[in-house]
Amino acid sequence: MFNKILIANRGEIAVRIVRACHELGVRAVVAYSEADRYSLAVRTADEAVCIGPAPSPRSYLNQSALISAARITGCDAIHPGYGFLSENAYFAEICAQYGITFIGPSPEAIRLMGDKIEGRTTMRAAGVPIVPGSEGELKSLDEAVELAVGIGYPVLLKPAGGGGGRGMRVANDEAELVRYYATAKSEAEAAFGNGALLLEKYLPKVRHVEIQVLADQYGNAIHLGERDCSSQRRHQKIIEESPSPAVSPELRARMGEAALKGVRAINYVNAGTMEFLLDPEGNFYFIEMNTRIQVEHPVTELVTGLDLVRWQLRIASGEHLTIQQADVELRGHAIECRVNAEDPERDFMPSVGEIQYYLPPGGPGVRVDSHLYNGYTVPGNYDSLLAKMLVWAPTREEAIVRMKRALGETVIHGIKTTIPFQMGLLDDEVFQHGFMHTRYVGEMMPKWLETRKK
């Protein structure tokens, strides 16, 4: 096992990694920006190093500052968390050059899966079903139009280097495709430094179902079942759960096997997620692989009883995966609400400022992953995730009741949060019956806003 790890991240995930380090007897060093001087991660770490000013290009994305911080403090590994440099193949390479273990897969695997076009091609060759669409990068508008005629509208224009649900455009007919093509390309270039687009059939009533995988350096790989992340607003996840109400044991086995085919095809090592869209007929299609720990990993931890972050460390340090597929058992039901610093009544406008009073929920079956404390000031420089409220219960029905109880207990004074909206979702009939698809949140939004006016 490592001696000391540098955590190249912030917020709740930095705290989460500190906790895993401490449970494994590893010293945790937190790299922080000037805006995060008083963060919970800094307080709980064994050591902390300032790596630069608040804007992330000058701190959390500053590779030389991070490598220097690791060397000065004598760290033998770096955990990148999610976001920032977690899917940066070049950073993984630099770590290796300095003899520091990057806690994640190889630079080759990151590079391959970081590009949605390469990802599609690789997965198709491995026998994993993909969404019908373009073979490679779209070369021209004419090619896009021709392809769209073949696969049928609506179609989706997707940035090959995209992430976080940004930059995608749905075209319902040829006129829209013509209208969106050039803008989508220039937006992709501006946002991701890569103007390459791909075209996919837009599947209207699908669920987002993803498979968690773990693989060691010796060719052993298992899957840990699925997470249903269909509760999304503008392609961004807001509630996740495991298991999915739409996945039978038989379908789980098939999706799991497809995910593992993908893992083997790229010699993937460490924790990763294969994302799929699942249609009402039970057909599933690969959309992308995330080569890192994900925000919603704890729902899998709650139903499997496994600690994914600890496994990331153990795998990266060269340990064997000691769990067999047959040992993986999903017990009960887990739900996560991502509590963001946003005002749902004002189009989810970011809300920043001091947390005057914070009282997290507790009691049976509740887990909170958060970096909040009384008096903490939420900086405006980073993403808006404040806390992940998680519950576990024997059944989905009980988990929903428990989540409502937990959110009802939560007190966050000083800024606006998404909790009132999530309360509304938990009461929504579609959610309660488990009939979610990726657009239902958008569809119920006007109704919810009406109830707030009363």
DSSP notation for 52-107: E-SSGGGTTT-HHHHHHHHHHTT-SEEE--SSTTTT-HHHHHHHHHTT-EESSS-H
Of 165 and 408, the one with the shorter C-beta distance to ligand ADP is 165
Shortest distance, position 139 Cβ to ligand ADP, whole Å? 20
Kindly name the residue from 169, 292, 396, 402 that is annotated as catalytic.
292
Which position has the token pair 């896009």?
144
Interface residues for ligand ADP in 188-207 (CB under 6 A)? 200-203, 206
Which residues lie closer than 8 Å to 148 by C-beta, 6 or more apart?
Answer: 155, 171, 174, 177, 199
CA distance 286 to 432: 27
Shortest distance, position 105 Cβ to ligand ADP, whole Å? 17
For residues 305 and 324, the answer to whether their CB atoms sit within 8 Å is no
* 295 touches ligand ADP (CB under 6 A): no
Q: Which amino acid is at 375?
A: G
Q: Which amino acid is at 229?
A: C
CA distance 148 to 141: 10
* 36 touches ligand ADP (CB under 6 A): no
Whether 111 is catalytic: no
Shortest distance, position 207 Cβ to ligand ADP, whole Å? 9
Of 36 and 275, the one with the shorter C-beta distance to ligand ADP is 275
Number of residues that bind ligand ADP (CB under 6 A): 20
Question: Interface mask (CB under 6 A) for ligand ADP, residues 122-161, using x and -?
Answer: ---------x------------------------x-----
Q: Quick one: which segment of 162-170, 253-261, 318-326, 409-417 binds ligand ADP (CB under 6 A)?
A: 162-170
For residues 137 and 196, the answer to whether their CB atoms sit within 8 Å is yes
Which residues lie closer than 8 Å to 208 by C-beta, 6 or more apart?
Answer: 228, 229, 230, 232, 237, 275, 276, 277, 278, 438
Which of 348, 438, 441, 448 is in the footprint of ligand ADP by CB under 6 A? 438
Of 208 and 388, the one with the shorter C-beta distance to ligand ADP is 208
Of 233 and 371, the one with the shorter C-beta distance to ligand ADP is 233
* 367 touches ligand ADP (CB under 6 A): no
Shortest distance, position 308 Cβ to ligand ADP, whole Å? 20
CA distance 203 to 190: 27
The β-bridge relationship of strands 4-7 and 27-33 is parallel
CA distance 283 to 205: 12
Of 74 and 136, the one with the shorter C-beta distance to ligand ADP is 136
Interface residues for ligand ADP in 231-290 (CB under 6 A)? 232, 235, 275, 277, 287-288
Shortest distance, position 216 Cβ to ligand ADP, whole Å? 26
Tokens standing for residue 232: 């999304």
Of 227 and 396, the one with the shorter C-beta distance to ligand ADP is 227
Q: Which amino acid is at 125?
A: A
Of 39 and 122, the one with the shorter C-beta distance to ligand ADP is 122
Which residues lie closer than 8 Å to 224 by C-beta, 6 or more apart?
Answer: 211, 212, 213, 214, 300, 304, 306, 308, 328
Shortest distance, position 312 Cβ to ligand ADP, whole Å? 21
* 163 touches ligand ADP (CB under 6 A): yes
CA distance 383 to 217: 33
Shortest distance, position 133 Cβ to ligand ADP, whole Å? 7
Which residues form the catalytic set?
A: 292
- Please give the residue ranges that form the binding site for ligand ADP (CB under 6 A): 131, 156, 162-166, 200-203, 206, 208, 232, 235, 275, 277, 287-288, 438
